[in-house]
Structure 1
Amino acid sequence: MGLSGGEACIKYLLFAFNLIFVLTGISTIVVGAIIPALYHDYRPVLQDGFFSIPYLLIAIGVIVFIVSFFGCCGAIKENHCMVMLFSVLLIIIFVMELAGGIAAYVLKDQTADSLGHQLNRTSHDFGRNQEYTTFWNVMQSELHCCGVDSYHDWMSVFHNNTLPQTCCKGNMEMNCTTASLKIYGIGCIQGLAEFLKNRAVALGASAIAIALIQVFGIILSCKLATYIRQNNYV
């Protein structure tokens, strides 16, 4: 006894869902791979958790391909065991993505005090530590800021009126000093906190959005498994 029209519709909807599922897996892998490269220069002040999330996304993306195989085969062959296995694996992925999204939202609460400590620590090694020097130059250029709270912070580092070249707008000054007319007037701590918060929120929202898509697949697979069992397609 075959599946009825409505049941067959669910079968092909589940198959179509798996195609979308594969695309979300590819997107997840791409996002997870790009994030560490994009924010590598900010590593000196980023929490380790910020970089653990991308690796979690890559792992989820790889698992998606394996899970999609069971979903497609189970739907086409109307195999109850494969559809049920697909449902269980989909629930596991849902929990993982939800955990990744929540973790990203937690990271947005990284305090200004914590960032301030990291910024002060790294600024005193400017010019002596290549990683910290690159970080400060990139941050000041991208966020249009200078120093931790203001350009005055550099005076305690250099003990004179010299400033990093990236403190001057457009890096147009031959020698950037506190007397220059085009100094970025704001400190980096506020801009960096907002920068990290926005990225963490976007990352968390993406992970949760993808997880919610999985709910649709879980419902379809559970319904199809029930129909197959009722029709003795085991």
Structure 2
Amino acid sequence: MDCGASIVKYILFIFNMLALVCGILLIVFGSLVLSNLGDIRDFADTFETSSIPISIIVIGCIIFIISFVGCCGAIREDTCLTMTYSIFMLILFVLQMIMVVYIWIERESFLNAMNKIVDKAWEQRHDKGHYMDVFQSGFNCCGRVGVQDYTKEIVPNSCCGASATSCSYELARNKPGCSQQFRTFISTNIAIAQYAGLVVAGVELIAFIFACCIANQARNERRRAAYYT
């Protein structure tokens, strides 16, 4: 393999390492969103709400595995591995762009679904108070709109933190409402997911092109070797 092809090989290896990192970031982000949803699996909107973070986790795992295969194929200069890898990278590029566009289009509906979940948790606070406790302790908030929601009720300990043994209106009066806090959290991290998705898609497209170049170079070298022998 000539000098130019060797450079492409190592660039492909570096791009795959970047893809590995981006895949890990997507997995972490998706897991973070799911973990902060808490134990609310019996809500009707949970499947729709969880679809985006679950998709992010799945795509992140696929990127991680295929990028690892790409690293091996580039180092070994294996035509079969690199061509298989390039096909998968092209497919992933298309899926990644679809995901980014989907998140962009469904952003508002997704945020509205978040508000509905908090509303339902608030409505069921007397029967299933642990739902609101999950939000209040996990997002450092109190009540649906604010602590004033508990004016005629006892302020739960979760309004003062997961480890609090007692709480009062005075202690929690500066806490934001859970609807606002949850929406802000999701809105901020959706933007991160979108930009991360674009970065990963760019890396995948370049990796696809470079993998095709390496596979073609390795194939030509084998043909020349067979011809001279």
SS of residue paired to 1:109? helix
Residue correspondence of structure 1 range 21-40 to structure 2 within 5 A: 21-40=19-38
What CA distance in whole angstroms lies between the structure 2 residues aligned with 1:189 and 1:32?
20
- Number of aligned residue pairs: give it: 222
Residue correspondence of structure 1 range 118-133 to structure 2 within 5 A: 118-133=117-132
Q: 2:84 matched to which residue of 1?
A: 85
Contact 2:13–2:75 under 8 Å retained in 1: yes
TM-score of the superposed pair, with normalisation by structure 2: 0.70
Shift of residue 212 of structure 1?
Answer: 2.0
SS of residue paired to 1:142? coil
Q: 1:200 matched to which residue of 2?
A: 190
Q: 2:47 matched to which residue of 1?
A: 48
**Bigger shift: residues 116-125 or 38-47:** 38-47
Contact 2:115–2:183 under 8 Å retained in 1: no
Contact 2:160–2:167 under 8 Å retained in 1: no
Contact 2:144–2:177 under 8 Å retained in 1: yes
Residue correspondence of structure 1 range 1-234 to structure 2 within 5 A: 3-40=1-38, 47-68=46-67, 70-110=69-109, 117-138=116-137, 142-143=140-141, 145-148=142-145, 153-154=149-150, 161-165=152-156, 176=168, 183-184=173-174, 187-232=177-222
What CA distance in whole angstroms lies between the structure 2 residues aligned with 1:19 and 1:115?
34
Contact 1:167–1:176 under 8 Å retained in 2: no
**Bigger shift: residues 28-37 or 194-203:** 28-37
What CA distance in whole angstroms lies between the structure 2 residues aligned with 1:186 and 1:25?
33
SS of residue paired to 2:108? coil
Q: 1:120 to 1:181 in 2, by over 3 A?
A: same
Name the Cα RMSD after superposition: 3.9
Give the unaligned 5+ runs of structure 2.
225-229
Sequence identity, in percent? Answer: 24
Shift of residue 5 of structure 1?
Answer: 1.8
What CA distance in whole angstroms lies between the structure 2 residues aligned with 1:211 and 1:62?
15
TM-score of the superposed pair, with normalisation by structure 1: 0.69
